Amino acid sequence: MEDQAEKLREIVRQKKQPEFTKTTSGASGGADTPASVPGQGGGREGSKARLITVTSGKGGVGKTNLSVNMALAYARLGKKVIVMDADLGLANVNVILNVIPKYNLYHVIRKQKTMKEIMVDTAYGISIVAGASGFSKIANLTEEERQNFIDELDSLSNADIIIIGTSAGVSSNVLDFIAAADDAVIVTTPEPTAITDAYGIIKIIATEYENFNMGLKLVVNRVKGAAEARKVADRMINIAGQFLNLKVDYLGFVFDDPVVSQAVLRQKPFTVIDPRCKASICVQHIVNRMEKSEPRENRGFGAMLKRLFGGQ
């Protein structure tokens, strides 16, 4: 596990360019990119998907519920949304939506299926893509597998919004996707352990991707009120600014609301069970705020992944 993460960091280090945040640098499509797919080299301007990752330091803080319900809020705005569950093998999103995808990313990596074939439409107007244990091993794929995987991921870029719920903590796949994202949403609860772990992941991001203009956004989940959330957020934002020189934006909070666990038990998203409950209204606010903030730049999902992993 350790050396896998190290391998990935090495790839990221190699790929890190001074002009990393520029779309126009062409760094991903260098002339020595052997596996570039014809027609994809410079054509990513058309790729409009906004990629949002939802992650946390500690497990169980509400990532999956937030991802799914944010996705539904976006769908209600008329957006085409895909939720990708990078929570390896834990089948989180599937459980909340009560759908069982037959195939997952493992089949895509192995070239047994295309991304479109593994995508499952749900009754809620969003589509889901299930993760796989093979997913954590991007750094270990053969060049051909990796290129195929990246190209397949690229085929999702005609969606408006792609939300990737990652597993808690720092595994290589979590970092990959946070780095590739337009917006990286970090979820914490007011619990001291959750806050410490959230700070931990922010610190690793800051260390791994120096000079990387992360669109880091904080959501405080399971709070009793706005004041409690604001206190947690202010503390994190100040510490990140002071010690890591990293800008973190406060995106919002979600009330601790019994409807959430009831919804989980019923295997339905809480915004469907009760669109007017406190937690649902909070998610709506969060998505409204996301809509008001532009992604840090419209780089295109596939282009970003190529920059990170491709072209080797």
Ligand X SMILES: Nc1ncnc2c1ncn2[C@@H]1O[C@H](COP(=O)(O)OP(=O)(O)OP(=O)(O)O)[C@@H](O)[C@H]1O
Q: Which of 36, 56, 92, 104 binds Mg ion (CB under 5 A)?
A: 92
* Distance of closest approach, residue 60 Cβ to ligand X, in angstroms: 4
What one-letter code names the amino acid at 303?
A
Q: Number of residues in contact with Mg ion, rule: CB under 5 A?
A: 4
CB nearer to Mg ion: give 87 or 154: 87
Pick between residue 214 and residue 220 the one whose CB is nearest to ligand X. Answer: 220
| CA within 13 Å, CB half, 28 | 29
Nearer to Mg ion, 92 or 122 (CB): 92
Q: Which stretch binds Mg ion (CB under 5 A): 23-31, 91-99, 126-134, 250-258?
A: 91-99
Residue among 305, 37, 265 at smallest CA distance from 179: 305
Q: CB of 149: closest distance to ligand X in angstroms?
A: 23
* Residue 208 φ then ψ, to 5°: -70, -40
What type of residue sits at position 141?
L
Q: Residue 2 to residues 9, 41, 168, 172, 174: CA-CA distances in angstroms?
A: 11, 33, 16, 9, 14
For residue 174, the one-letter residue type is V
Q: Which partner, ligand X, Mg ion, none, binds residue 254 by CB below 5 to 8 Å per kind?
A: ligand X
Q: Are 75 and 97 in contact (CB under 8 A)?
A: no
Residues that bind ligand X (CB under 6 A): 56, 59-65, 87, 92, 168, 221-222, 254, 256-257, 260-261, 264, 279
Which of 47, 64, 136, 189 lies at the binding interface for Mg ion (CB under 5 A)?
Answer: 64
Question: What is the CB-side half-sphere exposure of residue 15 using CA atoms within 13 A?
Answer: 28
Question: In this structure, are residues 98 and 267 in contact, taking their beta carbons and an 8 Å threshold?
Answer: yes
Smallest distance, ligand X to C-beta of residue 199, A: 16
Residue of 19, 41, 17 whose CA lies nearest to 306: 41
- Six-digit token string for 28: 């991903």
Q: Does 284 bind Mg ion (CB under 5 A)?
A: no
Q: Which is nearer to Mg ion, 64 or 172 (CB)?
A: 64
Return the structure tokens found at 176.
């990959």
- Residue 56 C-beta: closest distance to Mg ion, Å: 9
User: Among Mg ion, ligand X, none, what binds residue 61 when CB lies within 5 to 8 Å by partner kind?
Assistant: ligand X
Residue 56 contact partner, candidates Mg ion, ligand X, none, CB within 5 to 8 A by sort of partner:
ligand X
List of residues contacting Mg ion (CB under 5 A): 63-64, 87, 92
